[in-house]
Structure 1
Amino acid sequence: MTLPLRLQGTVCYWRDDKGFGFVITDHKERLFFHIRDFKQAPARRPQQGDRLSFELGVDKQQRHYAQSLQLEESTVAQTKPAKATAPDVYQIQQQAWCFRYLFFALLLLSLLAGSFAFIVPLFYLEASLFTYWLYQIDKKLAASGHSSRLPEESLQMFSLIGGWPGALIAQKRLHHKVHKMSFQREFRFVIYGNSCFLLWLLSESGSNFLQKVTLF
């Protein structure tokens, strides 16, 4: 069967952080595509359910893929209002990285100054508030059907460095991530690991360690 010059299909999978996805053609063929293969830079990033028009290409392994892609105008028009109100995932991730660097810098300074034991509650409060905010953002993204979500590793990381009380409150109040068993198993290990580390720091051996690293 001779294929038309340009095909049409629906995005069935999209991974925004990697910039690739799969589109199902109207002939029920599943094709790979990458953000770099768009004919022109799209008005927004693709999402699951978007309609695309494209040409058929062949890679080095002789596999078909979608190239010269274009986002259908009807899809762009339908999603413009949602785009204006959707959280900027990239900006949120940048803020999360900045907070992480700042947190560890303050942690190091408190250890060197010998004041770690006195500001532990402040660390937990700060990390918990930030973790709760991340859960709120991820909940909004999930409710709006946004194609990009905050990585679960980031949520678990901020819980591990002391934000697990905020994460626990967020899970209960927002009903977020409470039914995903794999996430809950990891979360229990995070609480256990953080609690063991804190108890060790408060023990005699931990106090001796803190005294050794103190510079002032």
Structure 2
Amino acid sequence: MEYHQPNMAQDYRGTIQFWDKEKGFGFIDSDYFDERLFVHGSEIFPKGYVPFIGEHVSFMVGNSPDKKIWAKKVVLIRQMELEEPITPNPSNIDISTSSGELKPESIKFDWSLTSIAYIVAMVIFLEIVHVFCTRGSMPIIVFYGYMGMNIWSLFLYIKDKRAALNDLWRVPEKTLLWSSVLGGWPAALCIQNIIRHKNQKTEFKQLFIGTIILNIIAFSILAFFSKDLNAYFAYIQNLFGVWFKSFSS
């Protein structure tokens, strides 16, 4: 596998050739070895950091349970460069010191006219839902559901943007899409443009538009059968009212 018998006490240099963020493992490409080396996320320092493809690393090697060579004690080269002096052996690097911490990237907000227009559109749509509910056309719980999902969508997108900037664990795209299907798409549409996140990826945009269509269809069906739903929720409310009075008396 390797050009020479690897020294288990020596540190090597290489680059991240592949990384699976969902499963927490990847492979390192190094000139010292013929084939790429497996590396588990638990061997990455600083702990909890998710490397990106092409990132330069320093590492040691060890034997896996099946006697294959894999990378251990993997340290980012840029992390090592923050230390004075630079220690070539990853096992001697104290990554817990404040001088060795990587400063997190902050999110930049774009308050352009386009972003403001999306915000206005979101407010209008939520107000339409609110009017439908307060006038008795739809159960009020529908409005509360929309508000909750929009707040949740804002949280998810901001969390995913921060993770993308700092190479941390990302929010799965299916989670973002499901939040839109369940009614959080107005806020998602706004925050995508305000923080410039997920608004350039063609495949995701197509799926996202599909979630908007699905939610609007569901909302229309709900509005069509709203009278029956109102009667049902009124029955449930009266039933709980009777139970409450029976317990309190």
TM norm structure 2: 0.59
Within 2, Cα distance between the matches of 1:135 and 1:75? 27
Structure 1 residues 154 and 18: alpha-carbon distance in aligned structure 2, compared to 1, 3 A threshold: same
For structure 2, the residue ranges without an aligned partner over 5 or more in a row are 83-99, 108-135, 238-249
| 2:79 matched residue in structure 1 | 75
Q: Deviations over 1:106-126 (max 9, x none)?
A: xxxxxxxx9962232232223
Q: Secondary structure at the match of 1:215?
A: helix
**Alpha-carbon spacing, 1:52–1:174, altered in 2? closer, same or farther (3 Å):** same
What secondary structure, in the 3-state scheme, does the structure 2 residue paired with 1:82 have?
coil
| Structure 1 segment 145-184 matched on structure 2, within 5 A | 145-184=166-205
Paired residues in the alignment total: 182
Q: Which has the larger radius of gyration?
A: 2
The letter for the 2-side match of 1:31 is L
Q: How big is each residue's C-alpha offset from its partner over 1:55-78, in whole Å with a ceiling of 9 and x where there is no partner?
A: 254675x8x441443436862564
Greater mean deviation of Cα atoms: 184-193 or 122-131:
122-131
Residues 15 and 147 in structure 1, CA contact (< 8 A), matched pair in contact too: no
Deviates more, 1:50-59 or 1:169-178: 50-59
Regions of 4+ moved over 4 Å: 209-214
Normalized per residue, the structure richer in helix is 1
Identical positions, percent = 25
Matched with 1:3 is: 5
Q: Give the alignment partner of residue 59 of structure 2, picking from 53, 67, 83.
A: 53
Q: 1:147 to 1:14 in 2, by over 3 A?
A: farther
Give me the TM-score of the superposition, normalised by structure 1: 0.67
Aligned pairs (5 A) from 1:1-216: 1-6=3-8, 8=12, 9-27=14-32, 29-35=35-41, 38=43, 42-46=45-49, 47-48=51-52, 49-57=55-63, 60=66, 64-71=68-75, 75=79, 78=82, 80-82=101-103, 117-142=139-164, 144-204=165-225, 207-208=227-228, 211-212=231-232, 215-216=236-237
Q: Which runs of 5+ in 1 are unaligned?
A: 88-113
RMSD: 3.3
